[in-house]
Amino acid sequence: MSNIEQTSVVYRVARAEELDAAASLDNSFTTDSVIEVTSSDDGFRLREVPVEAPLRKVFPDDEEGDEQNDEAEDDGPSTTRVVVALDGDGTLCGAITTEFSAWNSRLVIADVRVAPGHRGRGVGRGLMDRALDHGRELGARTAWLEVTNVNAPAVRAYRRMGFTLCGVDLTLYTGTASEGEQALFMSRPLMT
């Protein structure tokens, strides 16, 4: 099933006129579990726990100042790339945004979006595979991403794609619409 569905999806670099539509794809989710983060003086413990009622997360629109900059702080020009997925009818069904950080040879997975009706069909993996291949072409040694602890479905998917936990920030979302959530950072090597 997955191979047939995935072969009907076309992946390519987004055209300028598609960028707004890609950024507008519904990235909300519903989950019946979250990743519980507990901390101690020696580190962190993560554990997937069920929630009483399904949790639905709708991400707020990007706040002012949160948009991608053309110039990185100390890194020179930014290398941002958006790859889109189009279904057999040519309808936009997914997008992934990446940035290459030259100073540490890291591919940052800035945003992954798959339209709800196309989830679980390999579109996210197809987008990620193309992003990681592009990172290798740029000489990236690692790929890195941030995900909220309440997005257990994404954490599971990223783990299946070879990502592992590399950090936690308990305060990143303080004062935001995501107050109370924790940021999980995940990475995977790209060079063998």
- Among 3.40.605.10, 3.30.750.24, 3.40.630.30, 3.40.50.620, name the CATH number for the domain at 2-54+73-144: 3.40.630.30
Q: Which amino acid is at 80?
A: T
pLDDT band for 163, please (50, 70, 90 cuts): very high
CA distance 29 to 147: 13
Residue 102's pLDDT is what? 94
List, for residues 105-148, the tens digit of each pLDDT value: 999 999 999 999 999 999 999 999 999 999 999 999 999 999 99
CA distance 146 to 59: 14
List, for residues 61-103, the tens digit of each pLDDT value: 764 444 444 444 444 556 899 999 999 999 999 999 999 999 9
Question: Cβ neighbours of residue 70 under 8 Å, at least 6 residues apart?
Answer: 77, 78
Question: Cβ neighbours of residue 160 under 8 Å, at least 6 residues apart?
Answer: 125
Residue 97's pLDDT is what? 98
Neighbour count for residue 44 (Cβ, 10 Å)? 14
Residue ranges per structural domain of the chain: 2-54+73-144
What pTM does this model have? 0.87
List, for residues 138-150, the tens digit of each pLDDT value: 999 999 999 999 9
